[in-house]
Amino acid sequence: MNVLTIGGAMVDTIVTIANDKIEQVKMRNAESSFLLLEEGHKTEAEEIASSCGGGAVNAAVAAARLGHRTSIIAKIGRDEKAEIILNLLRAEGIDVSWIVVDEQQPTGSSVIISSHDRNAAVFTYRGANTKLKAGDLPPEAFAGRDLVYVANLSNQSAEYYPLVVSRAKSAGALLGVNPGIRQLTARFDDFWNSLKHIDILCLNRAEAQTLMPHLLQTFGDGGAPLIAKDDVPIPPLAKRGLRSGGYEMSLVKFLGALIELGVGVIVLTDGANGAFIARGQNLYYRAAQHVVAAATTGAGDAFSATFACYLTETKDPARALSAAAINAASVVKFIDTQTGLLTKPVLEREIETASEAALFSFSI
């Protein structure tokens, strides 16, 4: 299978801090939590490490380890960080011929603070990632692809999302999209107009709640709850639904609305509470793997990219869901976003030994 990933390329500096060295504050009536740094005080870190990241890089490494011929479109600077990224991609066997160098902007970078629940706080400088142009997305880069996977695009780069969609569909590729919250807000019209072209849409709960208010005008709020059969437990997100701006929408109604708007398959992840896959009238749910997390950064990229690759190859949403959950769980065991990504033989063995009780199907 031939895969092209598009989006960000970063070098991450990851700072791990013991729970007793930094304070965590959780809101009672909201879902936010905060890490507090004391002003004017040095905080001892357990570890400071450096690794490559970014949505397109993480997805490309995931696809390459699954045995697919993989290329990447991303923009980097002319600096040491760029060489770090290029060396990693080449070592993974990923084609870098469509990587573009920006002569003015440096390579994107981030500082990740990991502590407490390991839901990292991230300081991001996007740099060259924001500077994709139409000329960086030639038709030749899309030719012969089975899957075009589009990670979050930001700032100027997001202006060319419609061109990416057009190039992918003209090439006859399946289109997988994993947008970020910025793209769902500042560039919403472009995203909305692309829904009928998206074969695989990957969202986390926060992104889904950002998207939900835009569905209200057409579909209204509320909605029927998920009805389980044979004493199957109802997952938390299916019970509470999605909430934003004082409005609520049931999970069934939200997913059904996106299907009606033309999306082929919707992936909705809810962290440790598992993930849902909707296609047509079928809804699949898989509980999350229980692991001790070193960090949660990169789990979403691993889940989305693995699901998109498996579904494109196998056409089996249940198996793709299991593969995605297992690969994402492997990633969170490590501090960086790629060490835990599994090869196809290892992942296949994990799928065969995984508990079938973790997977449920419903009708919507």
Helix (H) or strand (E) segment spanning residue 268 = strand 265-269
Give the separation between CA 272 and CA 293, rounded to whole angstroms: 10
pLDDT band at 137 (very low <50, low <70, confident <90, very high): very high
Let me know if residue 171 belongs to a domain: yes
Range of the domain at 349: 2-9+55-107+126-363
- Dihedral pair phi/psi, residue 83, rounded to 5°: -65, -35
Q: What mean pLDDT is predicted for residues 233-261?
A: 89
User: Is the pLDDT at 59 greater than 80, yes or no?
Assistant: yes
Neighbours of 66 (CB within 10 A): 24
Tally of residues, the chain? 364
Give 31 or 358, the one with higher predicted confidence: 31
Report the amino acid identity of residue 38.
E
- For the stretch 269-307, pLDDT in tens is 998 889 999 998 888 899 888 887 777 788 999 999 999
Coil vs helix vs strand at 265: strand
Report the amino acid identity of residue 217.
Q
Nearest to 291 by CA among 330, 338, 264: 330
Give the separation between CA 226 and CA 238, rounded to whole angstroms: 6
Contact 347, 66 (CB under 8 A): yes
pLDDT of residue 292: 78
Give the separation between CA 175 and CA 173, rounded to whole angstroms: 6
Let me know if residue 40 belongs to a domain: no
Query: How many structural domains compose the chain?
Result: 1
User: Is the pLDDT at 238 greater than 80, yes or no?
Assistant: yes
Report the chain's mean pLDDT, rounded to a whole number: 90
pLDDT of residue 355: 63
Let me know if residue 23 belongs to a domain: no
- Least confident stretch, 17-31, 33-47, 180-194, 271-285: 17-31
Give the separation between CA 195 and CA 185, rounded to whole angstroms: 15
Residue reference for tokens 């919250």: 181
Let me know if residue 145 belongs to a domain: yes
- 47 - beta bridge partners? 16
Rank 108-117, 248-257, 301-310 by mean pLDDT and report only the highest: 301-310
Give 325 or 34, the one with higher predicted confidence: 325
Let me know if residue 39 belongs to a domain: no
> What whole-number percentage of the chain has pLDDT above 70?
94
Helix and strand numbers, DSSP H then E, in the chain: 12, 19
Let me know if residue 235 belongs to a domain: yes
The sign of the torsion formed by the CA atoms of 82, 83, 89, 90 equals positive
pLDDT band at 154 (very low <50, low <70, confident <90, very high): confident
Nearest to 363 by CA among 260, 290, 256: 256
* CATH code of the domain in which 63 resides: 3.40.1190.20
For Cα atoms 226, 356, 319, give the angle at the middle one, nearest 5 degrees.
85
Give the separation between CA 104 and CA 125, rounded to whole angstroms: 14
pLDDT band at 27 (very low <50, low <70, confident <90, very high): confident
Give the separation between CA 151 and CA 172, rounded to whole angstroms: 19
**Residue 198 CA: distances (Å) to CA of 94, 235, 261, 266:** 24, 26, 10, 9
DSSP H helices in 171-281: 181-185, 188-194, 205-219, 236-240, 251-260
Rank 173-177, 218-222, 242-246, 316-320 by mean pLDDT and report only the highest: 173-177
User: Is the pLDDT at 226 greater than 80, yes or no?
Assistant: no
Let me know if residue 196 belongs to a domain: yes
DSSP string, 94-126: -B-TT-EE-SSSPPEEEEEEE-TT---EEEEE-
pTM, rounded to two decimals = 0.92
Report the amino acid identity of residue 148.
V
pLDDT of residue 232: 72
Let me know if residue 20 belongs to a domain: no
Helix (H) or strand (E) segment spanning residue 299 = helix 299-314
